[in-house]
Structure 1
Amino acid sequence: MSVTTADYGFLEPQTVHFDDLDGFGMLHNSHYAVLAERAWVAYWQRREVAFSRDWELLDDGYNVAKELLVGFDLPIGRPGTYGVHAWVERLGRTSLTYGFRVCSEDASLTYAHGHRTVVRLERTTLRPTEWSGRVRELCQDLGRPASSA
């Protein structure tokens, strides 16, 4: 899948498969968050920041979810390629909150929207620890402009 662009943040294509649909033929509610998570993982993998196959090299990828909120706008009722538009809402010392929209491939139609907050952990103590300078650098270009809020 190729990566497309957005006015802010990034737009990542994601595939909805037939087996993602529920008994009513609609994308199961839990899968909207999965699409958003997969979009973020793809973003970080392309930048070689996190999600190494070697668990010892996780660094910034060693984090846990603190909060997840999803609001549903329209049902997705068929398999195919959709988009996830994502951006940074807040980057704290140890936490990161990103906003997202599960949308049409061209981002013109929103199916769901929300945000997710993660906290970076130190691997041995499991205590919150600061994000690296590399993550801070990458997040600078992902913020949503104040006029888009």
Structure 2
Amino acid sequence: MAAPAQTPATAVEYGHVEPLWTHFDDLDLMGMVHNTRYPVLVERALTGHWTRQGFDFVNGVYSKPDVVIVVAEFSISYRAPIRGTNPIGVHLWVEKVGQSSATYGFRVLSADGATVHAEGRRVHIRLDQATHRPTPWTDEARAVLDALAKPQETSA
């Protein structure tokens, strides 16, 4: 079986859109992506983006210390169902970076970017691999986070 074609890239003013596909096992009995699969789509998008930056987990080994994170918060609002197996995009950006935390915003989009299926936020805390206590981001990870940063709005 041939692999599906790459989903089209959606242009955004900030952050990154990770192209993905929905799969048959993501669907509920009505043929729509089940609500519990949206967090998985966000996870897949973040994993894909960070892996391409050199931060991954292969054969039980972390490539860099910043891969050790936990999710401290996840919130999502559902806007329009995804029906069937389709190319989609997950727009990711960073709203705030703390010493050991990062707050992401996200939108699950149709492939053309015209429909927002869901949107929300997710907070990561970087942990020390040995102590499992919060620890500061490395400069390398901070650079990746900064590249995803949403520009700060200024009041006139």
User: How high is the TM-score relative to the length of structure 1?
Assistant: 0.91
Q: Does 1:52 align with 2:51?
A: no
Q: Could you tell me how far 1:82 is from its partner in structure 2? A: 0.5
Larger helix percent:
1
Assess if the C-alpha contact under 8 Å between 2:71 and 2:123 holds in 1. Answer: yes
How big is the alpha-carbon RMSD for the aligned residues of Structure 1 and Structure 2?
1.5
Q: Secondary structure at the match of 1:87?
A: strand
Q: Which residue of 2 aligns with 1:82?
A: 88
1:87 touches 1:142 (CA, 8 Å); kept in 2? yes
Q: Secondary structure at the residue paired with 1:39?
A: helix
Aligned length: 146
User: 2-side partners of 1:80 and 1:131: how far apart?
Assistant: 35
Normalising by structure 2, we get a TM-score of: 0.87
Distance 1:82 1:38 in 2: 12
**Does residue 35 of the first structure (1) align with residue 41 of the second (2)?**
yes
Partner of 1:94: 100
1:3–1:11: 8 Å Cα contact kept in structure 2? no
1:80, distance to aligned residue in structure 2 (A): 1.2
Q: Which consecutive residues of structure 2, in runs of 5 or more, have no partner in the other structure?
A: 1-5
SS in structure 1 of the partner of residue 57 of structure 2: coil
Question: Partners of 2:51 and 2:82 in 1: how far apart?
Answer: 27
- Does the Cα contact within 8 Å between 1:3 and 1:12 map onto a contact in 2? no
**What fraction of aligned residue pairs are identical, expressed as a percent?**
38
Instruction: Give me the whole-angstrom Cα distance separating, in 2, the residues matched to 1:38 and 1:86.
Output: 11
**Structure 2 vs 1, CA of residues 36 and 106 (structure 1 numbering), >3 Å: closer, same or farther?**
same
Task: Give CA-to-partner distance per residue, 1:40-80, whole Å, 9 cap, x none.
Answer: 111111110x2230425341110111000010000111111
